[in-house]
Amino acid sequence: MSTVVLRRYQAEAAISLVVLLQRYGIAYLRGEVRTGKTFTALAAIKSIGYKSVLIVTKKKAIASIEADRDAIGLTEAVTVTNYEQLPKFAGDHFQLLLIDEAHGVGAYPKPSKRFADIRQVGYSHLLLMSGTPSPESYSQLYHQFRLGRAIWSGYTNFYEWAKAGYVIIGTKFVGTGQQVNDYSNANEARILADIEPYTVTITQKSAGFTTEIQEHTHYVQMKARTYRLAKRIMTDGVIGNPSCRSVLADTGAKAMSKLRQIYSGTVITEAHGAVIFDTTKAKYIMAKFSGKLAILYCFKAEGEMLRKMFSPLATDSPEHFNANPDAVYIGQILSSREGVNLSTADHLIFMGIDYSALSYLQGRDRASYLGRDRANQIHFIFAARSIEPRVYALVRNKENYTGSHYAADRSSLSAEADQAVRS
């Protein structure tokens, strides 16, 4: 028996979803972070009376969604899985397929493996759900909606859809200078007009959120060795030689990856795996912050560094973190930015920053929840005179930091690293 009482805005949204699913067989629930999208969707599922439902989500979100499913009384009807396990359901048929964090199926111009895996599952109705349906381009909406049959079914593929006026096709340079078509400049007004009849939106404002997010940037002087390594990557594209722990960055993309590692004190070598060489950021976090901490990192070696520093309090379980007052959450940004509740955190700390605007936009809301009586304190720990502040300036304006940005910044970044070594 259900033990859940929906808030008014959730109940209204659930009713709207029921209408769309019964009328069109497809609906998109666009709900901002921490507005209770899952309970809203489950309420609609229960109201319609589906007997077989498959929910596809991120691995870290499974436990939370299963708890919500059980609380609302849908244990027998709803199965929850993650994208990696989806091929196990190929050939099975469900009355409803719910795609959580549906923007993850929005790759373009070619469909992603996730899209192909979903197409192997049979389903009568489709419910898409995301807080950020098109974080980088409205072109990301094509493959999401093509999982259903209501709109854009007249176009064979993305390219045909784009040429029909949905995208202003340009060009861009990738890799070593190859010129390719750029499909990111989508026709926002036309696309939004098409999908509006199938979309239900919940905002934090409509849900009654009143707390604010306060962002803080911290600049840490790293060891001189860190800046020397960064400068070698930018000027030579290589550190060391094959007989030692060499690091190779012979393309702009590799250089960007290595710089992101180095400026947090680790680097992945060619033959010897990851090396931790500068714990300055981790020590700064330990010395600077008190209260309940949730720390997000980019690379596995950074997580290893942090877990050693905060042992035995470190955990990567959101449930354990929220239930234990002394726990310190340490999680990778990519796996923690979506579907993870860190609402008991006093401070949400990013040890560095991802080049993706999506990681910034979703990661910073992990500590939000309705009824929070204090501001969300978000902290970014940057290496002084590094690439990180430049990345931050872009992603906070919903723009990814790309190879073209790095190419433009490379000379000045190298000069800054040289100054840091000399200071």
The pLDDT of residue 299 is above 80 = yes
Q: Would you place residue 206 in the very low, low, confident or very high pLDDT band (cuts 50, 70, 90)?
A: low
Q: Please give the pLDDT value at position 210.
A: 54
3-state secondary structure at position 102: helix
Among 271, 267, 287, 272, which Cα is nearest to 352's? 267
d(CA 99, CA 129): 6
What are the sequence ranges of the domains in the chain? 8-207, 213-422
Note the pLDDT tens digit of each residue in 101-128: 999 999 999 999 999 999 999 999 999 9
Would you tell me which CATH number, out of the four given (3.40.50.10810, 3.40.50.720, 2.40.50.100, 3.90.180.10), belongs to the domain 8-207?
Answer: 3.40.50.10810
* CB-based contacts of 349, cutoff 8 Å, min separation 6: 285, 289, 293, 294, 295, 296, 379, 380, 381
pLDDT single digits (tens) 189-205 = 999 999 999 999 988 77
State residue 241's pLDDT score.
Answer: 63
Q: In the chain, what percentage of residues exceed pLDDT 90?
A: 66
pLDDT digits (tens, 9 = 90+) for 137-164: 999 999 999 999 878 989 999 999 999 9
Q: Is residue 411 pLDDT above 70, yes or no?
A: yes
Task: Beginning with the edge strand found earlier in the chain, give each strand of the sheet holding 122-130 in spatial order.
Answer: 78-82, 53-57, 93-100, 122-130, 26-31, 199-202
Percent of the chain past pLDDT 70, that is, above it, reads: 92
- pLDDT average, residue stretch 269-276: 86
What is the total residue count of the chain?
423
Q: State the DSSP H helix or E strand holding residue 200, giving kind and residue range, or none if neither.
A: strand 199-202
The predicted structure's pLDDT at residue 365: 65
Question: Is the pLDDT higher at 338 or at 78?
Answer: 78
**Measured distance CA(321)–CA(319) in Å, rounded:** 5
pLDDT for 69 equals 95
Q: How confident is the model at residue 136 (pLDDT cuts 50, 70, 90)?
A: confident
**What CATH number was assigned to the domain covering residues 213-422?**
3.40.50.300
For range 351-362, the mean pLDDT: 82
Nearest to 301 by CA among 280, 332, 340: 332
Judged against a pLDDT cut of 60, whether residue 173 lies above it is answered with: yes
**What pLDDT, on a 0 to 100 scale, did the predictor assign at position 374?**
61
**Range in 101-115, 127-141, 210-224, 298-312 with the lowest mean pLDDT:** 210-224
Of the listed ranges 66-80, 104-118, 137-151, 234-248, the one predicted with least confidence: 234-248
Q: Provide the mean pLDDT of the chain.
A: 89
